[in-house]
Amino acid sequence: MTIYIACDHLGVEIKKELLTYLKNKNIDIREIGIENSELDDYPVFAFKLGELVRDNKDSLGILICGNGVGMSIAANKVKGIRCVRATSVEDAFKGKNHNGANVLAIGANLGIDLAKEIVDTFIETDPASIERYLKRINSIINYENGEYNEL
C-alpha cells in the first residue's frame, strides 16, 4: 500500500516528523511533489493528493493544515475521495471503518504524539465491511456518480 502525504505551510514540521516516523515503520510513503512556501494554499495540495489516491486504488492519503478543516473540505471535492478530518483516534477509526475514508486530514495544532496515534489508527484500521456501512458508502458513491435515486 502506498500512502501519499501533503501539507500546506502550517503543516510542514508535522509532515517532516510523520515522514520519518512512517518510513521507519517501512511504510511506502510519498510526498506529492508540490513544494511548500509561506503563501501556499491548501486546496492545491488537497486536490493533487486526492487525484493520486483516486487513481491508485490501493493507496491512502494524509493531509495536514492548520486544523484539518480546509484540507478535508477541498479533498472531498475530488471525485472518489472520502476524507475524514480527525481530531481523535476514534475519528480516524470510524472515518475509515464506518465511512470508507481513504484520506485523513489532521491539524498541525494536534501535536506530533497525537498525530502519530491518529495516523497509525487510520492506516491500521480495516476498511468498512459491515453491510449497513457498505450500503451508506455506496449511497455516497452513487450520488457522486449521479446514480442516486432514493430522494
The CATH number of whichever domain residue 115 belongs to comes to: 3.40.1400.10
Q: Is residue 151 part of a domain?
A: no
Task: Give the active site residue among 7, 9, 65, 83.
Answer: 65
pLDDT at 1: 93
CA nearest 85: which of 54, 48, 122?
122
Q: Is residue 150 part of a domain?
A: no
Name the residue range of residue 50's domain. Answer: 2-144
Q: Is residue 86 part of a domain?
A: yes
Helices (H) and strands (E) in the chain, counts: 6, 5
Q: Is residue 149 part of a domain?
A: no
Q: Is residue 18 part of a domain?
A: yes
**Annotated catalytic residue 98:** yes
What is the average pLDDT across 65-79? 97
Q: Is residue 24 part of a domain?
A: yes
Question: Cell numbers of 21, please?
Answer: 516516523
How many structural domains is the chain composed of? 1
pLDDT at 150: 73
**Annotated catalytic residue 83:** no
Model-wide pTM > 0.85:
yes
What is the average pLDDT across 7-15? 96
Inform me whether the pLDDT recorded for 151 exceeds 90: no
Q: Is residue 95 part of a domain?
A: yes
Q: Is residue 68 part of a domain?
A: yes
